[in-house]
Amino acid sequence: MKLGLLLCDHVNTSLINEHGDYADMFFDSLVSEQLRSEILSTPLEIVNYAVIDDEFPDAVEDCDAYLVTGSQHSVNDDYPWLKELYSLVKDIYQKNKPLIGICFGHQLIAAALGGKVEASDKGWGVGASSCEVVTTHACMQQDEAATEVSLLYSHQDQITRLPPETQVIMANDFCQYAMIESGERFLGIQGHPEFSKAYSRALLELRRERLPETVHKRAIESLNNELDSQRVKQWILRYLEING
Please give the tally of structural domains in the chain.
1
- How high is the pLDDT of residue 146? 78
Angle at CA 222, nearest 5°, toward 8 and 200?
30
CATH number for 37: 3.40.50.880
User: Along the 244 residues of the chain, how does pLDDT read in single tens digits?
Assistant: 999 999 999 999 999 999 999 999 999 989 887 777 778 988 999 999 999 999 999 999 999 999 999 999 999 999 999 999 999 999 999 999 999 999 999 999 999 999 999 999 999 999 999 999 999 999 997 776 679 999 999 999 999 999 999 999 999 999 999 999 999 999 999 999 999 999 999 999 999 999 999 999 999 999 999 999 999 999 999 999 999 8
Whether this model's pTM surpasses 0.85: yes
Please provide the DSSP assignment of 109-130 as one string.
HHHHTT-EEEE-TT--EEEEEE
- How high is the pLDDT of residue 188? 98
* Domain extent for 191: 2-243
Query: Alpha-carbon distance 173 to 71, whole Å?
Result: 23
* DSSP 3-state of 33: helix
- Edge-to-edge strand ranges of the sheet holding 45-49: 45-49, 2-6, 65-68, 99-102, 186-189, 179-182, 166-171, 125-133, 148-155
- How high is the pLDDT of residue 80? 98
Chain centroid to Cα 52, Å, comes to 16
Asked if residues 201 and 128 have their Cβ atoms less than 8 Å apart, the reply is no
Please name the residue ranges forming H helices in the chain: 13-19, 22-37, 80-94, 104-112, 197-206, 213-222, 229-243
From 186, 193, 233, select the one nearest 89 (Cα to Cα): 186
